[in-house]
Structure 1
Amino acid sequence: MLFNKKGSLIGAILAVTIGILVIHVNFVIFQGLFDAIVRDLTDYRFGNVYVTDEEDFIDKSDLSLVGWFERIPYVDAAAPRLSSSASINSTKTGEKIEEFRVPVVGVDPLRDIRVSTIHETVDDGQYVFSRNSIVLGSDVARDLGGLKVGDNIKIKIVNRIDEDSLKRFIVTGISKSPGGQGLDTSVLIHIDTLRDMMGRPGETGSIMVKLNDSTKSEEVRDLFIRSFPNDDFKAETLEEVAEESLRGFRSGIAMINMIGLFGMFSSAFAVVTIQMMLVSSKTREIGVMRSIGAKRKDILVIFLIQGMLIGALGASVGTAVGLGYTYYAKETKMQWEGSIPLEVNYNWPNIIQTAIMSFSLAVTAAIYPAYRATKLLPVEAMRSV
């Protein structure tokens, strides 16, 4: 008898559903973006463990360090890298174009493709494969007059004794990554070529380590530090090496989640309003029930059950729609034009917690209207209609 206001009940269920959906959408977009940034930092720049020298360049053999890491069961591969900056000039249609302080990354072509996915961003040409080949980031290629594969460029690097080191390269590839998270503003050359130009034979700037289980990164880091106590090595997990940028993004996610929670509380307020409307519209029925012997607790139970029904249906529908949206985003690797493809995962603890919270809020929101219904006296209830 108290459940025939279908429009009001559907409205209350939709309010709960929308509250849950807002949280799911926020999580997919913002957490997915955060995870995508972590993914690209891991795959392009740092790996799961990043080793440098606290004072200068690593002078220990990169082959021995890579071999040490690859003996650990958790390690898939390791690779050395070396970085510098250079002046680059090219000639297009008879005009000389020069760019300064361009980041240069030296890579070991055979090992780097096992640790990093930066080679997969080369969509024109191929990755570094010889001592005189160079891969240009898409921004560098554009700034140098729209260079293409097969063009020649000249690079100038100041070596360790402050002398200019010049070398000509053939462009063998152009690298472009979604959202510019790769090395779009850099150039890549063979690490041995960069060592020669910098006057640092046998030295390395960093070691990237890729794990088959990212949860073991701290364990591998600590094991490495303990194994080389007399060296000045600095080993960091991705969370440590990119701490500042990731911390700022986490703060943004926390704020967005807070907005989502306010949306859920707004849904609870809508449930209270609708329940109060139902109580008002059912004044006569409540009076009839009280006059035939229904107790206050019976009225209370009816409206609480109604709140539980709204909460259960709203949580179920909202969670189902949210999971459908998450599935779509995950399968399509959702991205906007030129943006980073989102890294979407099912966070089951978060999903379950959201459903339980929405159900609890809906039930809690039904308590006051139910209490108001129990306070109606039979005579007054019958007289009010």
Structure 2
Amino acid sequence: MTLADTLDEALQAMGANRLRTGLTMLGMIIGVGAVVLMLAVGQGAQSMVSESIAAMGSNLFIVLSGSSTSGGVRMGGGTVPTLTASDALALEELPDIAAVAPISPNNAQMIYGPNNWTTMVAGTTPSIFEIRNWPTVSGAGFTEVDVRSATRVTVLGQTVARNLFGDEDPVGKTVRIKNSPFLVVGLLAPKGQSLDGRDQDDTALVPLSTAQRQLFGNQFPGMVRFMMVKARSGQVMERAERQINEVLRQRHRIRAGQDDDFTVRNLTALAATAATATRAMSMMLGAIAGISLLVGGIGIMNIMLVSVTERTREIGIRMAIGARRRNVLVQFLVEALIISLAGSLIGVGLGIGCAWLVAAFVGMSVVVTLWSILLSFSVAAAVGIFFGFYPARKAAQLRPIEALRYQ
């Protein structure tokens, strides 16, 4: 018997019981659809985290100034100005540090023509562009000369530029920050949301000296709110953190046993933890969806066992006129495989459709990958063969005389 004959007989047998075949296939449709949808959601979450990590920069530390206590209430980090721009210069001399950017941020209203927008204006140094891996798409960043001269220049994030200028290129235009004119020298590339959901493009960067002397003033000259530090590589992060602590304790004259007046946080480690948690969630979603496939496979086995029982006399007649056990085994396996693959094909379409609906109505990021579709097909085929083998083997082992006598 050729493969074409086997397929024809299998399709005829399945067509004789369309409702039962459809219900059997439903288990695989739901299982494969759930696998595709869950993997798409998990992959989308991983993609969002990966993009946020890449946008944040690599090998980063954030150094916060100290905390304070008032009336028995302990305030958070950054409430006491303990860090200075000269601390940043000292950290840049460390062998494992690639760049340091002191930052002094504050909210301010920006005005251009009839438009205005309140945003975070951060006074910093040109090192921020390297540390954050943040190029400009138009114009350029400010320079060390601008910092030394306290020049009134600014580099805008995409959100600020869109709200003030619309589709107009802001480079070369003059905006007012707290009623002071600033020349826009650059437009930053889009960064998107951070891991905490904050819009990273809703910012404007100005030279640190300009922010301290002309915009916000500084009760403590030279003090900054925090610093961003970039290590030379991921392999030296632990050593670089020790060096940062040692240098700052020495510069701030903190004796042994005293608490630090600053806090060093490893942003890369926090991001890696978030990525690990997202991967674990993806695996959990995949496992839950895999259970649906298992249930669908059990349904195939049950229906195939019923089919073998109903077709016992047919099997006996076929074997009596010369059919081999192998022919019977292959026929029932082919039926199970057709149900699995047909259900998989419909399930893939259902899963992709549901993923698009989730993206459209829930707003979640979903990523349907080719490997998830191939994985679903492969698992479904394996499930069909695995759960279809026992009924097929049972059919093949029937004795022709006993099968013919079956009522």
TM-score w.r.t. structure 2 length? 0.59
Q: Deviations over 1:161-201 (max 9, x none)?
A: xxxxx743112334462755563211122344335455352
Matched, 1:190 2:202: no
Matched, 1:78 2:107: no
- Equivalent residue for 1:224? 240
Matched, 1:141 2:161: yes
Matched, 1:168 2:198: no
Structure 2 Cα separation of the partners of residues 127 and 345 of structure 1: 38
Matched, 1:132 2:152: yes
- Equivalent residue for 1:234? 264
Per the alignment, do residues 86 and 293 of structure 1 end up closer, same or farther by CA in structure 2, a change over 3 Å counting? same
Structure 2 Cα separation of the partners of residues 87 and 49 of structure 1: 27
- Equivalent residue for 2:293? 264
Letter of the structure 2 residue corresponding to residue 66 of structure 1: E
Deviation at 1:341, TM superposition (A): 9.8
- Equivalent residue for 1:201? 222
Structure 1 Cα separation of the partners of residues 108 and 267 of structure 2: 32
Structure 1 Cα separation of the partners of residues 124 and 160 of structure 2: 18
Matched, 1:154 2:165: no
- Equivalent residue for 2:252? none
SS at match of 1:118: coil
1:49 to 60, 63, 68: 60
Per the alignment, do residues 343 and 188 of structure 1 end up closer, same or farther by CA in structure 2, a change over 3 Å counting? farther
Structure 1 Cα separation of the partners of residues 332 and 83 of structure 2: 69
How many percent identity over aligned positions?
Answer: 20
- Equivalent residue for 1:330? none
Structure 2 Cα separation of the partners of residues 358 and 211 of structure 1: 47
- Equivalent residue for 1:31? 43
- For structure 1, which segment, 26-35 or 245-254, has the greater mean C-alpha deviation from structure 2 after superposition? 245-254
Deviation at 1:52, TM superposition (A): 1.3
Q: Deviations over 1:345-370 (max 9, x none)?
A: 998xx999878755553344225534
Question: How many residues are paired up?
Answer: 336
Alpha carbons 1:86, 1:155 under 8 Å: kept: no
Which runs of 5 or more residues in structure 2 are unaligned?
16-20, 67-77, 250-261, 353-358
Structure 1 Cα separation of the partners of residues 121 and 367 of structure 2: 28
SS at match of 1:222: helix
1:286 to 302, 309, 315: 315
SS at match of 1:361: helix
Which runs of 5 or more residues in structure 1 are unaligned?
157-165, 326-334
- Equivalent residue for 2:403? 381
Deviation at 1:119, TM superposition (A): 1.9
Letter of the structure 2 residue corresponding to residue 119 of structure 1: P
Alpha carbons 2:88, 2:102 under 8 Å: kept: no
Letter of the structure 2 residue corresponding to residue 234 of structure 1: V
Alpha carbons 1:47, 1:208 under 8 Å: kept: no
Q: How does 1:60-71 map to 2 (within 5 A)?
A: 61-68=87-94, 71=95
Structure 1 Cα separation of the partners of residues 65 and 368 of structure 2: 36
Alpha carbons 1:225, 1:233 under 8 Å: kept: no
Per the alignment, do residues 190 and 178 of structure 1 end up closer, same or farther by CA in structure 2, a change over 3 Å counting? closer
Letter of the structure 2 residue corresponding to residue 35 of structure 1: S
1:105 to 98, 112, 122: 122
Structure 1 Cα separation of the partners of residues 232 and 330 of structure 2: 55
Letter of the structure 2 residue corresponding to residue 207 of structure 1: M
Letter of the structure 1 residue corresponding to residue 108 of structure 2: S
Matched, 1:117 2:130: no
Q: Deviations over 1:301-358 (max 9, x none)?
A: 93699379949x96xx99xx99xx9xxxxxxxxx99xx999999998xx999878755
Letter of the structure 1 residue corresponding to residue 91 of structure 2: L
TM-score w.r.t. structure 1 length? 0.61
Structure 1 Cα separation of the partners of residues 334 and 224 of structure 2: 69
- Higher-Rg member (1/2): 2
Q: Deviations over 1:139-160 (max 9, x none)?
A: 333444747333323334xxxx
Structure 2 Cα separation of the partners of residues 107 and 13 of structure 1: 62
Per the alignment, do residues 87 and 66 of structure 1 end up closer, same or farther by CA in structure 2, a change over 3 Å counting? same
Structure 2 Cα separation of the partners of residues 363 and 144 of structure 1: 63
